[in-house]
Amino acid sequence: MIEAIRLTKKYKTKGQDNVVIDDVSFSLPMGTNVGFLGRNGAGKSTLLRLLSGVEKPTRGVVRKEGTISWPIGFSGGFQGSMSGYDNVRFVCRIYGAVFEDVIDFILSFSELGEYLYMPIASYSSGMRAKLAFGLSMAIDFNYYLIDEVTAVGDASFKKKSTAEFNKRKEHSTLVVVSHNAQTIKRMCDKVIVLDQGKLIEFDSVGEGIKYYSAL
Protein backbone atom coordinates (compact mmCIF):
# COMPACT_ATOMS: atom_id res chain seq x y z
CA MET A 1 0.00 0.00 0.00
CA ILE A 2 1.09 3.55 -0.78
CA GLU A 3 -0.94 6.17 1.04
CA ALA A 4 -0.68 9.95 0.59
CA ILE A 5 -2.20 12.05 3.37
CA ARG A 6 -2.88 15.77 2.80
CA LEU A 7 0.07 16.00 0.44
CA THR A 8 1.17 19.49 -0.59
CA LYS A 9 4.16 20.61 -2.64
CA LYS A 10 5.11 24.24 -3.22
CA TYR A 11 8.02 25.78 -5.11
CA LYS A 12 9.24 29.35 -4.98
CA THR A 13 8.82 31.01 -8.38
CA LYS A 14 9.97 34.61 -8.68
CA GLY A 15 9.60 34.99 -4.93
CA GLN A 16 6.06 33.63 -4.83
CA ASP A 17 4.67 30.23 -3.83
CA ASN A 18 3.74 28.04 -6.78
CA VAL A 19 1.46 25.27 -5.46
CA VAL A 20 1.93 22.18 -7.63
CA ILE A 21 0.23 19.59 -5.42
CA ASP A 22 -2.52 21.05 -3.24
CA ASP A 23 -3.60 19.14 -0.10
CA VAL A 24 -4.43 15.80 -1.76
CA SER A 25 -5.06 12.40 -0.17
CA PHE A 26 -5.30 9.02 -1.91
CA SER A 27 -4.26 5.38 -1.57
CA LEU A 28 -2.71 3.00 -4.07
CA PRO A 29 -3.42 -0.61 -3.04
CA MET A 30 -1.31 -3.44 -4.37
CA GLY A 31 -2.80 -5.17 -7.37
CA THR A 32 -4.52 -2.12 -8.89
CA ASN A 33 -2.51 -0.47 -11.65
CA VAL A 34 -3.17 3.26 -11.43
CA GLY A 35 -2.66 5.91 -14.08
CA PHE A 36 -2.27 9.61 -13.27
CA LEU A 37 -3.33 11.73 -16.22
CA GLY A 38 -2.47 15.40 -16.49
CA ARG A 39 -1.40 17.98 -19.00
CA ASN A 40 2.23 19.05 -19.35
CA GLY A 41 3.22 20.99 -16.25
CA ALA A 42 0.35 19.67 -14.15
CA GLY A 43 2.73 18.21 -11.55
CA LYS A 44 2.66 14.52 -12.51
CA SER A 45 6.42 14.00 -12.28
CA THR A 46 6.53 15.97 -9.02
CA LEU A 47 3.88 13.66 -7.58
CA LEU A 48 5.88 10.60 -8.58
CA ARG A 49 9.02 12.01 -6.96
CA LEU A 50 7.07 12.60 -3.75
CA LEU A 51 5.78 9.02 -3.75
CA SER A 52 9.27 7.64 -4.31
CA GLY A 53 10.88 9.81 -1.63
CA VAL A 54 13.19 11.56 -4.09
CA GLU A 55 11.56 14.84 -2.97
CA LYS A 56 9.99 15.76 0.35
CA PRO A 57 6.51 17.30 0.52
CA THR A 58 5.98 20.81 1.80
CA ARG A 59 3.23 19.36 3.99
CA GLY A 60 1.65 15.96 4.45
CA VAL A 61 3.08 12.46 4.51
CA VAL A 62 3.49 9.43 2.26
CA ARG A 63 3.15 6.05 3.97
CA LYS A 64 4.58 3.06 2.15
CA GLU A 65 4.55 -0.70 2.50
CA GLY A 66 6.57 -2.96 0.24
CA THR A 67 9.39 -2.09 -2.12
CA ILE A 68 9.03 0.89 -4.45
CA SER A 69 11.13 1.74 -7.49
CA TRP A 70 12.71 5.04 -8.36
CA PRO A 71 10.69 7.04 -10.94
CA ILE A 72 11.23 5.06 -14.14
CA GLY A 73 11.43 6.71 -17.53
CA PHE A 74 13.47 6.28 -20.67
CA SER A 75 16.18 8.55 -19.35
CA GLY A 76 18.30 8.13 -16.30
CA GLY A 77 20.53 9.87 -13.80
CA PHE A 78 23.65 8.05 -14.92
CA GLN A 79 27.22 9.14 -14.20
CA GLY A 80 28.50 10.05 -17.66
CA SER A 81 32.19 9.34 -17.09
CA MET A 82 31.45 5.81 -15.86
CA SER A 83 30.61 2.90 -18.13
CA GLY A 84 27.11 1.50 -18.31
CA TYR A 85 28.46 -1.60 -16.58
CA ASP A 86 29.80 0.40 -13.62
CA ASN A 87 26.61 2.46 -13.36
CA VAL A 88 24.64 -0.77 -13.10
CA ARG A 89 26.98 -2.07 -10.38
CA PHE A 90 26.48 1.15 -8.39
CA VAL A 91 22.67 0.94 -8.58
CA CYS A 92 22.75 -2.72 -7.52
CA ARG A 93 24.70 -1.79 -4.39
CA ILE A 94 22.15 0.87 -3.47
CA TYR A 95 19.14 -1.43 -3.92
CA GLY A 96 20.73 -4.64 -2.65
CA ALA A 97 20.19 -6.40 -5.98
CA VAL A 98 22.32 -9.32 -7.18
CA PHE A 99 24.65 -7.71 -9.72
CA GLU A 100 25.24 -10.86 -11.76
CA ASP A 101 21.51 -11.41 -12.30
CA VAL A 102 20.90 -7.76 -13.18
CA ILE A 103 23.79 -7.47 -15.63
CA ASP A 104 22.80 -10.73 -17.35
CA PHE A 105 19.28 -9.39 -17.90
CA ILE A 106 20.56 -6.07 -19.23
CA LEU A 107 23.02 -7.73 -21.60
CA SER A 108 20.27 -9.84 -23.16
CA PHE A 109 17.59 -7.14 -23.10
CA SER A 110 19.24 -3.83 -23.92
CA GLU A 111 20.99 -4.83 -27.18
CA LEU A 112 23.92 -2.58 -26.21
CA GLY A 113 26.60 -5.22 -26.67
CA GLU A 114 30.13 -3.85 -26.15
CA TYR A 115 28.76 -0.35 -25.58
CA LEU A 116 27.78 -1.48 -22.09
CA TYR A 117 31.47 -1.26 -21.18
CA MET A 118 31.93 2.23 -22.60
CA PRO A 119 31.32 5.58 -20.83
CA ILE A 120 27.69 6.69 -20.69
CA ALA A 121 28.80 10.04 -22.17
CA SER A 122 29.47 8.26 -25.46
CA TYR A 123 25.90 6.89 -25.68
CA SER A 124 23.18 8.22 -27.95
CA SER A 125 19.91 9.19 -26.28
CA GLY A 126 18.38 5.94 -27.54
CA MET A 127 21.17 3.87 -25.99
CA ARG A 128 20.75 5.65 -22.66
CA ALA A 129 17.04 4.95 -22.85
CA LYS A 130 17.58 1.24 -23.47
CA LEU A 131 19.99 0.98 -20.54
CA ALA A 132 17.68 2.92 -18.21
CA PHE A 133 14.68 0.79 -19.07
CA GLY A 134 16.62 -2.47 -18.91
CA LEU A 135 18.03 -1.59 -15.49
CA SER A 136 14.58 -0.63 -14.22
CA MET A 137 13.06 -3.92 -15.31
CA ALA A 138 15.97 -6.01 -14.01
CA ILE A 139 15.21 -5.28 -10.34
CA ASP A 140 12.04 -6.62 -8.71
CA PHE A 141 9.80 -4.16 -6.86
CA ASN A 142 6.28 -4.37 -5.45
CA TYR A 143 5.53 -1.00 -7.07
CA TYR A 144 6.97 0.41 -10.28
CA LEU A 145 6.67 4.20 -10.59
CA ILE A 146 6.65 4.95 -14.32
CA ASP A 147 7.09 8.48 -15.67
CA GLU A 148 5.86 9.41 -19.17
CA VAL A 149 6.97 6.15 -20.69
CA THR A 150 7.20 5.88 -24.47
CA ALA A 151 8.86 2.97 -26.18
CA VAL A 152 12.15 3.56 -27.95
CA GLY A 153 14.01 1.54 -30.52
CA ASP A 154 12.74 -0.55 -33.39
CA ALA A 155 9.61 -2.69 -33.49
CA SER A 156 11.42 -5.63 -31.91
CA PHE A 157 12.59 -3.60 -28.91
CA LYS A 158 9.15 -2.02 -28.45
CA LYS A 159 7.63 -5.48 -28.43
CA LYS A 160 10.10 -6.61 -25.76
CA SER A 161 9.36 -3.51 -23.67
CA THR A 162 5.61 -4.16 -23.77
CA ALA A 163 6.17 -7.80 -22.83
CA GLU A 164 8.25 -6.78 -19.80
CA PHE A 165 5.55 -4.43 -18.55
CA ASN A 166 2.98 -7.20 -18.92
CA LYS A 167 5.20 -9.55 -16.91
CA ARG A 168 5.53 -7.00 -14.12
CA LYS A 169 1.74 -6.61 -13.96
CA GLU A 170 1.46 -10.28 -13.02
CA HIS A 171 3.17 -9.81 -9.64
CA SER A 172 3.76 -6.07 -9.14
CA THR A 173 1.71 -2.88 -9.26
CA LEU A 174 2.26 -0.15 -11.86
CA VAL A 175 1.82 3.53 -11.03
CA VAL A 176 1.98 5.41 -14.32
CA VAL A 177 1.97 9.17 -14.92
CA SER A 178 1.35 10.45 -18.43
CA HIS A 179 -0.43 13.04 -20.56
CA ASN A 180 -1.13 10.28 -23.10
CA ALA A 181 -4.55 8.73 -22.55
CA GLN A 182 -3.77 5.70 -24.73
CA THR A 183 -0.76 4.82 -22.57
CA ILE A 184 -2.97 4.87 -19.47
CA LYS A 185 -5.71 2.87 -21.20
CA ARG A 186 -3.21 0.19 -22.19
CA MET A 187 -1.47 -0.17 -18.83
CA CYS A 188 -3.88 0.75 -16.03
CA ASP A 189 -7.03 -0.38 -14.20
CA LYS A 190 -7.91 2.97 -12.62
CA VAL A 191 -7.40 6.65 -13.49
CA ILE A 192 -6.65 9.68 -11.34
CA VAL A 193 -6.70 13.04 -13.14
CA LEU A 194 -4.38 15.75 -11.85
CA ASP A 195 -5.56 19.28 -12.63
CA GLN A 196 -4.55 22.56 -10.96
CA GLY A 197 -3.02 20.72 -8.03
CA LYS A 198 -6.13 18.66 -7.24
CA LEU A 199 -6.98 15.02 -7.93
CA ILE A 200 -10.17 13.47 -9.31
CA GLU A 201 -10.36 9.66 -9.02
CA PHE A 202 -12.16 7.36 -11.48
CA ASP A 203 -12.58 3.62 -11.01
CA SER A 204 -13.50 3.44 -14.70
CA VAL A 205 -10.53 4.07 -17.01
CA GLY A 206 -12.89 5.13 -19.78
CA GLU A 207 -14.64 7.71 -17.60
CA GLY A 208 -11.33 9.09 -16.40
CA ILE A 209 -10.04 9.47 -19.96
CA LYS A 210 -13.29 11.11 -21.02
CA TYR A 211 -13.03 13.66 -18.21
CA TYR A 212 -9.36 14.35 -18.99
CA SER A 213 -10.06 14.77 -22.71
CA ALA A 214 -12.66 17.44 -21.92
CA LEU A 215 -10.20 19.59 -19.93
pLDDT at residue number 129: 82
- CATH 3.40.50.300 residue ranges of the chain are 2-69+174-214
CATH class given for the domain over 2-69+174-214? alpha beta
Q: What is the pTM of this model?
A: 0.86
Rounded CA gap, 145 and 143, in Å? Answer: 6
pLDDT at residue number 54: 87
pLDDT at residue number 20: 94
Q: pLDDT tens for the chain, 215 residues: list them.
A: 999 999 999 998 887 889 999 999 999 999 999 999 998 888 998 999 999 998 999 999 999 999 998 888 655 678 899 999 999 999 999 999 999 999 999 999 888 999 999 999 999 888 888 888 889 889 999 999 988 765 556 677 778 887 888 888 889 999 999 888 988 998 899 999 999 999 999 999 999 999 999 98
Rounded CA gap, 178 and 163, in Å? Answer: 19
pLDDT at residue number 141: 92
